[in-house]
């Protein structure tokens, strides 16, 4: 039963990574095509060149990117809950669980703030940060299948310190 929940958690986290990658591509497309050409702006000191973002042209892409971010958040939420059920404790007991829970937290905070404020420009950075956090968690921080707990926790701790010093 516990291994079934662990597999469900892994599949959900991997799926969330794929959707975060698609969200990143959609946000990059949105930001790239929202840049307007510089225009002259009159001021008292003279003419200033102002470069702004025009999100009116990329409204549909922004909705797609936000929908993908919400889908990735839901998949990651399912992965964190499944991880908690499989490990039988709150999922921040090791660096892997802490990383996926942290990615869930800052993605959720972004989506909550997006409902109140116009922070679409931040979606590009949030999606790549979540993708890098999950990729690091899966490749470097995932607990290994060692025989004794001490070796396993020591290896995870060393990987976590390396990752912390890298960031």
d(C-alpha 87, C-alpha 90), whole Å: 8
Host H or E run for residue 50: strand 46-50
d(C-alpha 124, C-alpha 131), whole Å: 11
Q: What is the pLDDT of residue 116?
A: 92
Residue 66 banded pLDDT, cuts 50, 70, 90: very high
Q: What is the pLDDT of residue 146?
A: 45
Report field, pTM of the whole predicted structure over 0.85: no
């Amino acid at each position: 039963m516990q291994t079934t929940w662990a597999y469900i958690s892994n599949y959900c986290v991997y799926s969330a990574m794929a959707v975060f990658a698609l969200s990143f591509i959609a946000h990059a497309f949105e930001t790239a095509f929202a840049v307007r050409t510089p225009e002259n702006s009159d001021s008292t000191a003279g003419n200033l060149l102002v470069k702004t973002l025009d999100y009116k042209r990329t409204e549909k892409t922004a909705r797609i990117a936000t929908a993908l971010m919400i889908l990735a958040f839901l998949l990651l939420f399912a992965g964190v809950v499944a991880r908690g059920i499989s490990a039988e404790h709150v999922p921040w007991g090791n660096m892997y669980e802490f990383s996926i829970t942290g990615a869930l937290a800052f993605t959720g905070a972004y989506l909550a703030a997006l409902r109140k404020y116009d922070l679409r420009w931040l979606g590009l950075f949030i999606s790549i940060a979540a993708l890098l956090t999950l990729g690091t968690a899966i490749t470097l921080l995932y607990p290994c299948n060692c025989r004794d707990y001490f070796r396993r926790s020591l290896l995870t701790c060393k990987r976590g310190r390396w990752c912390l010093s890298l960031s």
